[in-house]
Structures are given as structure tokens and as C-alpha cells.
Structure 1
Amino acid sequence: MRGLLALPFFGRRRFDSLSAQEMLALAIASEEEDGRIYALYASRLRQQYPATAAVFDDMAAEEEEHRRRLIDLYRARFGDLILPIRREHVADFYTRRPVWLVENLGLERIREEALAMEREAQAYYRAAAQRSTDAEVRRLLGDLAAAEAQHERGAEAMIAERLGGEAGTEEASAARRQFILTWVQPGVAGLMDGSVSTLAPIFATAFATQDPWTTFLVGLSASVGAGISMGFTEAAHDDGKLSGRGSPVKRGLASGVMTAIGGLGHALPYLIPNFWTATAIALAVVFVELWAIAWIQNRYMETPFRRAVFQVVLGGSLVLAAGILIGGG
């Protein structure tokens, strides 16, 4: 029972039990936190995405202005001492996701999160107003819902105004370039390495043993091992600060996962007990993998299609043939 009472839920107030004074104090604290979040987004984005940073500066300024109006109302009704109540003190009040879960995501994701913040506050205040039986609290919650709705429309208008022209195009281009450098490029490199480098050991084992289960185990170990190796190599060799390629953790994750997937694609068919059926499916998977990689290189990395075919399809075919010849001999 002691451990149960230590859970965060216990000791917290219910939202509909708060007085008008407590509700106003909670609104002030919430506006302060949202303003700090917007200011942090602006600070983190200013160097690379100045137009979006300006949007968040404006949103932070609006939150500050709204906070000042709330404080003026609070002082007029309840005095200068504002109750120390925050979101985490109320059991059914809406919460904000930790900033570090959002700020490292893409530019569009951060913009969406900002609009979602306004939407969540508005929706909760409206629902709470409908549940409340206290006329004074009901009116206050309705006012807050209307204010948040106005904030959401204002945020959308600011984004459209500031990012509708050349600045928006430049930032979209920069975001796409960053996405390619951080996720696509190491992911494609990993997929290509995993698909090609595991061909020889998997098919050599297959034709040497003609045992699907042994071939699968070799393919699984080769794929996972290659994924771990590629992931650590990608993360360790470049911290992204000078190259601008982004977080080494993200790049390492993309490279490692795609390397493992590249190898597992033609290892999984050997879960089929019949050797020749499994081999035929594995060869078909290899064919699809190699052409898919060539297409991705051409689509996202702007590699000429003929060069991509030469590097991936022809190179992979040679590795495959080597594995079959070695295993068959």
C-alpha cells in the first residue's frame, strides 16, 4: 500500500475540483511553460531556419502577453500572491511532451507540435468547461478555450505569412537536404552494404550445405553483425558538427537498421524447409533489393541511374555469383 501511495497520481487534485483562483493560477503557469517552449524552439532553430525561428519568437511573445493579462486579472480578483500550482499537480490536466523528444525531430514535426500544443489546450479547456458545475469556473474555462483557439489561428496565420514566400522555400529545401544527409544517405549506404556484403556468405553456405536452417542462421548472424558494425562506424566517425550531417545517433541508427534489413531480406526465405524453394525466393528478393537500391540512389541521392545500376546491380550480381561458385565448388 505504501508503494501504491507513492505513485505520481496520488496526492494530485482533480481538475474539476479546482477553485477559480486555482484555475487562474494554473493557466498562468501553463502559459509561462508554453512561452518557454516556444522560445527554446526559436533558439534551437535560429541559425538554420531563421524564418521558422521568427514564428516561434512571435508565438512566445503572444504567450507572454496572454500571461500578463491573466496576471492582471488574478491580481484584481485575488491579490499579488499567485498560488504555486502547475500541470503536474492536477491529475487530469493535459501534459506537454518533453522538449528533447521533439526538438531533435524534423522542422515540419516541430511546427506541427506547436500547433498541437494550442489545439490540446483549447480542446481540454472546452471539455473541462462542459463538465464543470461551477458557473464561475465554467466561464473561466470557456474564456481560456476561446483564447487558445485564437492562439491556434494566429499561429497558423504567422506560419503562412512568414513561410509563404522565398523563406519558406529555402527552409523546405534545407529541411529536405538535412533529412537526406541524416537519414537517407546513411540508410541507403547501410542497405547497400547489408544487401551486397551478405550475399557471398549466405549463398556460399546455402550451396555448400543445402541446409536451409544452417543458411538462415549464417544469414541472421551476418546481417545482425554487419548492422551493429555499420551503425557504430557511422556514429563514431563523424559527430556531424563540421559536416552538417546531423546527429550521429540518428545516422548510426539509420545505417545499422538498414544494413541488418538488407541482409535479412535474402536470409529470411531460408526459413522455408525446402532448399530449392527457399533459394528461388531468396534470388528473387536479391533482384528486387538491388534494383530498389539503384532507384533510391537515383531518387534521393541524385546518382545517375546508369551509374547506380553499375555500382549496385552489377556489383551485387558479381558478389552473388562469387558466393554461389564458392559454395557450389
Structure 2
Amino acid sequence: MTEDTQAQTLEPETELPAKMTVKEEIADIIRAIRQNDDSSHNFLLRVVQPGLAGLMDGSVSTLAPIFTAAFTTHQPYIAFLIGMATATGAGISMALSEGLSDDGELTGRGSPVVRGSITGIMTFFGGTLHTLPFLITNLHLALVTAYIVVAFELVLIAGIRHRYFGTSWLLSMLQVVGGGVLVFIAALIFGNA
């Protein structure tokens, strides 16, 4: 066995997908969704992982500012405005972070524009869902509704992790809810300072 042959057996070649334009990648993602091909490794890297990262970030990172605003001001609309500003800022930040992290060629994760867009949109979506209840003028009702929405978001995140990444329900719930609880505790601490 020559050194070249030995090196080839030690390092198996991995075939990276051909570079696509943004338009081709979006068409490929839509095709995969229409054909229920949502569990392929390629789909997980290009769509599910950036979407889940955004949803998790938006759902968890915006909790403290929103609930701190609600607890300190006792004005649901102020909490709504802070929540929307936080969700917007987090969405832009996460989109740029994901889009600028790599060009997709080396990792095979696809277009940075598509990944960044998916991450940013899902971050905004995750941060907005539990912000909407603060359009309710009664603070107590707004808080109770927001708690229910947050619980739904966390179960949804755990379900996505279970479905696509094979994480056990129990472990996923413990991790996701644990993170949410830590952020909520921060909101209580700062909201009652």
C-alpha cells in the first residue's frame, strides 16, 4: 500500500453538494417540502438547524426584556413595544450572524443568504409570538396569555428537536424548559429590582 493509498483510506472523501444560486436553493427547499423530504441530512443542515436556532433564540432571549418591562412598568403596551424591538433586533442580529458565519461551501450548509434569512425570520417569529399577548390592555390577562404562549413555544422547540434530531422528549423538555426558566428568573430579578 502506497502512502497516497493509505492516506485515502484514512480520510474518506466526502462529496459536497454543488454550489447553487439562492433562487435554485429556495426552489430545492420548496421541492423538498412538497415531496415530504424533510429528513434528509441536506435539508437538516440548510433549513431545520438554522430555523431551530432562530426559533430557540427568539423564544428564549426575548423573555427577560419583555417580562422585565411588564413587571416594572405594569403597562402591557410598553412591554409589547420592547418585545417587538427586541425581536426585531434579535432577528437582524441572528440573520447576520448565521449569514456571515461561513459561505456554505466548506460545510455544505448551503447559501448564507438563505440560512441567514431562515434564522432571522424564525428568531423574529419566536420573539414575536409571546410579545403579541401584551396588546391586551389588562396586565394580568396579558401575562397569563404570554405564559401559555411561552409554554407552547418551548414544547414546539422540544418537539422539533425530538422529530428532527432524535433527542428524547424528556431530555429535550428538560433542556428547553430549563433554559426558559433561567431567563424567566432573570426577568423576575430585574423586574423586581
- How high is the TM-score relative to the length of structure 2? 0.81
User: Deviation digits for residues 91-147 of structure 1, max 9, x if unmatched?
Assistant: xxxxxxxxx68632227839x9xxxxxxxxxxxxxxxxxxxxxxxxxxxxxxxxxxx
Partner in structure 1 of residue 174 of structure 2: 310
Partner in structure 2 of residue 179 of structure 1: 43
Partner in structure 1 of residue 95 of structure 2: 231
Q: CA, structure 1 residues 211+180, in 2 after alignment: closer, same or farther (shift >3 Å)?
A: same
Matched, 1:103 2:21: no
Partner in structure 2 of residue 96 of structure 1: none
Matched, 1:214 2:78: yes
SS at match of 1:103: helix
Partner in structure 1 of residue 190 of structure 2: 326
Pairing partner for 2:128 from 264, 276, 289: 264
Q: Give structure 2 stretches of 5+ with no counterpart.
A: 1-15
User: Higher Cα Rg: structure 1 or 2?
Assistant: 1
The answer on whether the counterparts of 1:102 and 1:109 sit within 8 Å (CA) in structure 2 is no
Q: How many residues align?
A: 174
Pairing partner for 1:244 from 94, 108, 111: 108
Q: Give structure 1 stretches of 5+ with no counterpart.
A: 1-46, 50-99, 113-171
Q: CA, structure 1 residues 255+277, in 2 after alignment: closer, same or farther (shift >3 Å)?
A: same
Shift of 1:179: 1.3
Q: What CA distance in whole angstroms lies between the structure 2 residues aligned with 1:203 and 1:107? A: 36
SS at match of 1:290: helix
Partner in structure 2 of residue 285 of structure 1: 149
Partner in structure 1 of residue 158 of structure 2: 294
Q: CA, structure 1 residues 248+270, in 2 after alignment: closer, same or farther (shift >3 Å)?
A: same
- How high is the TM-score relative to the length of structure 1? 0.49
Matched, 1:255 2:83: no
Higher relative contact order (CA 8 A, sep 6+): 2
SS at match of 1:285: helix
- Which amino acid in 2 is paired with 1:109? R
Where does structure 1 differ by over 6 angstroms across 4 or more consecutive aligned residues? none
SS at match of 1:276: helix
Superposition RMSD in Å: 2.6
The answer on whether the counterparts of 2:22 and 2:114 sit within 8 Å (CA) in structure 1 is no
Shift of 1:311: 1.9
